[in-house]
Structure 1
Amino acid sequence: MATLRRDLLIAVRHRGELANPLMFFLMVITMVPLGISPEAAVLSALAPGMIWVVALLATLLSLDSLFRSDFEDGALEQLLMSPQPLYFQVLAKVFVHWLITGVPLTLMAPVLGVMLSLPSAGYWPLILSLLIGTATLSLIGAIGAALTVALRKGGLLLSLIIMPLYVPVLIFGASGVRSAIEGFPYLGTMAVLGAFLALAIVLAPLAAAGALRISING
C-alpha cells in the first residue's frame, strides 16, 4: 500500500507525463480519416482494430518509465532489499501504471470511436475489452520494463521483447468488438481476455520480480 500511495503521488506530481499516451492516442486516431478515407463505411470497418492497435502502442509508450525513475534514484535497490515480497511491490506499481494509462485510454476510446464512425453495438464491448486488455498489457509490459531497466536506451529492446506477447491480447480484443458489431456473441472472447488477465496477474509480477533481480544484481 505504501508503494501504491507513493507511485500515485509521483504520478500526480508529473501530470505532463500522464498526458503523453493520451495525446498520442488522440493524435493518431485523428489522423486516420485524413490518411485513409473520411467515408463512414471505411472508418467503421477499421475502427475496432485501429483503436486497439493505437491503445496498445500508447501503453507501450509509457512502459519504459515503469521502473526507470526508481532505478535512477536508488529506490529500486531498496525495494529489492525490503522484507516485503517483491511480487506485491511490482503488482502495486503495475496497478498504478494501469490506473494512469489504461483507464484513461479506455475512457477516451468511445469518443474516438465516434470519430471513426464505430457502430453503436461496438461501444460497450470496446470499453470492456480495453478495460481488461490494458490491464493485461501493463502486466506483460512490466516484464520487459524490468529486463531493460538497467539499459540506458532500452526502449527499442523493450518493444522487441514485449510486442510478440501483446499479439494474442490484440487479436482477441479487436475480434471481440468486431463480433459485437456483426451481431455475433462476444462474451466468450471477453472470457478469454479475462483468462489472459488472471494468468498475467499470477505470473507476470513473478517474472518481473525475477527480471529486476537479474537487471540490478547482474
Structure 2
Amino acid sequence: MIALLLRDLRLSVRAGGGFGLGLAFFLIVVVLVPFGVGPDRVILTPIAPGILWVAALLAALLSLDRIFALDFEDGSLPLLATAPIPLEGVALSKAVSHWITTGLPLTCVAPVLGFFLNMAPGAYVWLLASLALGAPALSMIGTFGAALTVGLRRGGLLLSLLVLPLYIPTLMFGAEAVRRGADGSGVTAPLMLVGVITLGCFALLPFATAAALRINLR
C-alpha cells in the first residue's frame, strides 16, 4: 500500500493537476475577492473564513477527475483490481495521495492568504485546525465521486455535481469554527463535527468507493 501511495504521488507530480494547480487557483480566488467586494476591512473580515473555505474546497475539486482517470486510461486500474491489495486499500491510498498533494498544501497556505482578506487575528489558528480536520474528508469524498464517474467521457462536470452537495456539511462546520474563533466564541462543537465527518468518511467511503470501482470495471 505504501508503494502504491508513492507511485500515486509521483504520477500526480509528473502528470500535472496536483498541488501546483490547486495552490494557484486558491491564490487567484483569494486575491480577486478584494477587487470584487472592495478592500474595506469591515466587509472583508466577516466573510474571510467563508471565502477561504470555499476557495480551498474548489481548489481541491480541480484535480478529482484525475484520481482514477490516469489508471483507467493506461489499463492499470483493472490490474489494481486483481492485485493482492484490496480495492478498499487502493481507494484509501488514492484519497491519502490526493490529500498530500492538494489538501495539505492548501491547509498550510490558507493562514498566509488570510492576510489578504484582513482576517481577524484570533481566526488563524482555527482556520488551520479546521482545514487540517476537514481537508482529508474532502479528499475521501472526492475519491468516492471519482470512482463513480471513472470511464465516463467528460465526467468532470458530473463529478462536480455529485461531490459538491456532499462537501456542504464539511464546508458549513469548518467555516463556522473559524467564524467562532474570530469572535472568541466556543469552537469545540463545529470542530468536533468536522472531525466526526472525516472519521465517518474514512470508515465508510473506502468500501463504497471499492464497490463503485467493481461496478465500473465489469
1:55-97 deviation line (CA, Å, top 9, x unaligned): 1111111100011100000110001111321111110111010
Partners of 2:18 and 2:101 within 8 A in 1? no
Q: Distance in 2 between matches of 1:179 and 1:18?
A: 29
Q: Work out whether 1:174 is the aligned partner of 2:175.
A: yes
1:150-195 deviation line (CA, Å, top 9, x unaligned): 1010011001111111110000000000011111110221111111
Q: Distance in 1 between matches of 2:10 and 2:58?
A: 25
Report the alpha carbon displacement of residue 9 of structure 1 after superposing the two structures with TM: 2.0
Task: Give TM-score scaled by structure 1 length.
Answer: 0.96
RMSD of aligned Cα (Å): 1.1
Partners of 2:17 and 2:63 within 8 A in 1? no
Report the alpha carbon displacement of residue 15 of structure 1 after superposing the two structures with TM: 5.5
Residue correspondence of structure 1 range 104-143 to structure 2 within 5 A: 104-143=105-144
Residue correspondence of structure 1 range 86-97 to structure 2 within 5 A: 86-97=87-98
Any stretches of 5+ residues in structure 2 without a counterpart?
Answer: none
Any stretches of 5+ residues in structure 1 without a counterpart?
Answer: none
The residue that corresponds to 1:147 in the other structure is: 148
Look up the equivalent residue of 1:26 and give its one-letter code. L
Identity score, percent: 47
Partners of 2:140 and 2:205 within 8 A in 1? yes
Partners of 2:150 and 2:216 within 8 A in 1? yes
Q: Distance in 2 between matches of 1:119 and 1:12?
A: 35
Report the alpha carbon displacement of residue 16 of structure 1 after superposing the two structures with TM: 6.3
Q: Which secondary structure state, in structure 1, belongs to the residue aligned with residue 217 of structure 2?
A: helix
The residue that corresponds to 1:18 in the other structure is: 19
Q: Distance in 1 between matches of 2:165 and 2:16?
A: 30
The residue that corresponds to 2:54 in the other structure is: 53
Partners of 2:98 and 2:139 within 8 A in 1? yes
Residue 216 and residue 16 in structure 1: after superposition, are their counterparts in 2 closer, same or farther (change >3 A)?
A: closer
Q: Which moved more, 1:95-104 or 1:79-88?
A: 79-88
Q: Which secondary structure state, in structure 1, belongs to the residue aligned with residue 154 of structure 2?
A: coil
Look up the equivalent residue of 1:89 and give its one-letter code. V
